[in-house]
Amino acid sequence: MSCRKTTIGGQALLEGIMMLGPKKSAIAIRKPNGEIELKVEDVKSIKDKWKICSLPFIRGVFALYESMKRGTSALMYSAEFIEEEEVEESKFDKWLDKKFGWEKVQKVLMTISTVIGVILPIVLFIFLPTLLAGIFDEYIGNGILRNLAEGAIRILTFLLFMLSVSHMKDIRRTFSYHGAEHKTIFCYEAGEELTVENVRKFSKEHPRCGTSFLFSVMIISILVFSVVQWSNPLMRIALRLLLLPVVISLSYEANRLIGRYDNWFTRFLRAPGVWFQGFTTFEPDDSMIEIAIEALKPVIPENNEDKW
């Protein structure tokens, strides 16, 4: 059991891991030649400029936005180290480089990736479940039952999606790095020295994982969306989009609450989210654990600022 709880979190990348602390962020990447590339930066957050963004029930939306933006940037950075076959540069690539410069092109690609990263979950977990549940309206005939059916479809869609991508070789390796990230944070919270041997013995499932947050979103969305009783599917979708910031905010606060305390009630609440991590975390090898350790060390503050 952890001796302390930290606000430090992480994200698995392509052959690497990003760790985020209160003041520093670090990315450790395993290069094709076996060496470790380490990138450490100061953390700049919108809440440092606008204090209102750090208020409860407001901070969740901004935290998710910053997490997605930072995570996409880190993922693209890690992709730069992946060896690819030599391919002759196309005329279109040469034109883009000459006309705009490759750095601008990369920024555009990162923006597009971020937009897709926002739109895809909305389509899969809001549009699709709402439309499918609407098909059975004439058989259900009850707003509460329809919302429960929609929530069940949403959870099933997530499970099938994660199950399908987890069988892809590259994704499976990334999920193993995800496990290494969790084990290393657990080791740090237990107050043990950050060595491969010490980290290896800890659990790959962590209660404050983003997967648990996603599960909280799904459960809370069932409760929040239950106030929407319109039978028209398009109207229900529009209202769900309007209520999405409310769902995110409540889920963020709930995740913080159950992550801060450790008793039978909080363990019961976070159990489904931890179970969900069986789809997004796998046991890492020692080289992955080494990457996680290298990413964590630079972000650990000296004055206990990371206390949860």
pTM above 0.75, yes or no: yes
Residue 268 CB-half CA count within 13 A:
3
Q: For residue range 4-34, list pLDDT tens digits in order.
A: 788 899 999 999 999 999 899 999 999 989 9
Q: Residue 82 pLDDT more than 70?
A: yes
4 within some domain: no
Q: What percentage of residues in the chain have a pLDDT greater than 70?
A: 80
Distances (CA, A) of 76 to 3, 30, 105, 272: 35, 14, 13, 31
* Residue 125's pLDDT band (cuts 50, 70, 90): low
247 within some domain: yes
**How confident is the model at residue 268, as a pLDDT?**
84
158 within some domain: yes
- Token code pair at residue 208: 């404050």
276 within some domain: yes
Highest mean pLDDT: which range of 45-49, 89-93, 108-112, 119-123: 45-49
Q: How far apart are CA 64 and CA 191, in angstroms?
A: 29
Range of lowest pLDDT (42-56, 90-104, 214-228, 244-258): 90-104
Which structural domain, as residue segments, surrounds residue 26? 9-82+91-128+140-299
Highest mean pLDDT: which range of 41-55, 67-81, 121-135, 191-205: 191-205
172 within some domain: yes
- Residue 14, SS3 per DSSP: coil
Q: Residue 251 pLDDT more than 80?
A: yes
Q: Residue 182 pLDDT more than 90?
A: yes
* Residue 36's pLDDT band (cuts 50, 70, 90): very high
**How confident is the model at residue 192, as a pLDDT?**
93
Q: How far apart are CA 60 and CA 57, in angstroms?
A: 6
**How confident is the model at residue 1, as a pLDDT?**
47
DSSP conformation class of 129: H
**Higher per-residue pLDDT: 53 or 104:** 53
The stretch 111-130 carries a mean pLDDT of 67
1 within some domain: no
Cβ burial, residue 37 (10 Å; 0-12/13-18/19+): middle
Transcribe 234-262 into DSSP letters.
HHHHHHHHHHHHHHHHHHHHHHHHHHH--
**How confident is the model at residue 87, as a pLDDT?**
40
Q: What percentage of residues in the chain have a pLDDT greater than 90?
A: 27
* Residue 117's pLDDT band (cuts 50, 70, 90): low
Count of domains in the chain? 1
134 within some domain: no
280 within some domain: yes
Q: For residue range 234-243, list pLDDT tens digits in order.
A: 777 788 788 8
